[in-house]
Amino acid sequence: MFPIYVVNNFGQFNHLIHRALRDLDIDVALIPNTTPPEEILECSRGIILGGGPAIERSGNCSKYLELGLPVLGICLGLHIIATTFGGRVQTGQSGGYGPIEVEISEHDDILAGYPEKIHVWASHADEVVQIPDGFTRLARSEICNNEAIAFPQKHIYGLQWHPEVSHTFEGRRVFENFNRITLENKM
């Protein structure tokens, strides 16, 4: 079985994403964002776009969204998804990392099993202010209307928060859900 690829966008938590999946016994590999898209298509069953300091340093990430594989974007990964599909990202008013309560409005595939409200750890230095056409808002908070979005028909999901850190309520569940989505997509 092919692994899930975690795309390293130079963020401080990309290795934690890799480790979280490995700790769940999910086959995973951490790759640079300069990896050719055809290599990902030939050797992966899903992609996690990790966080990072700047969308300008996101390498081939927007091309990965054209491969037809399930994608989960975390923080900067969400911003890459939104801008690639015509959404808009701008500087957030709340700034850096910290705790936030998120209200889940759609318990779709990626947020299956979560309660209505969860406490997470997120950065709001930048945030999605306009979701792309065809996408659905899954969650919001007092400071950000688009904490999570999805294009379920294409199995593309994005989170503003970091499920890989211990401060996030049951973050492993996001990875378990994404793993299930990638396995079902291969059938």
Give the integer Cα–Cα distance in Å for 183 and 167: 28
Strand (E) positions, the chain? 4-8, 28-32, 46-49, 71-74, 88-104, 117-130, 136-140, 148-151, 156-159
Catalytic-labelled residue, pool 18, 75, 79, 147: 75
Asked if 124 is an active-site residue, the reply is no
CA distances from 85 to 2, 65, 168 (A): 27, 9, 27
Asked if 75 is an active-site residue, the reply is yes
24-30 own/partner pairs: CB under 8 Å, 24+ apart = 24/172, 24/175, 24/176, 24/179, 26/175, 26/179, 27/1, 27/2, 27/3, 28/3, 28/4, 29/3, 29/4, 29/5, 30/5, 30/6
Helix or strand or coil: residue 159?
Answer: strand
Asked if 170 is an active-site residue, the reply is no
Catalytic-labelled residue, pool 61, 124, 147, 164: 164
Active site residues: 75, 162, 164
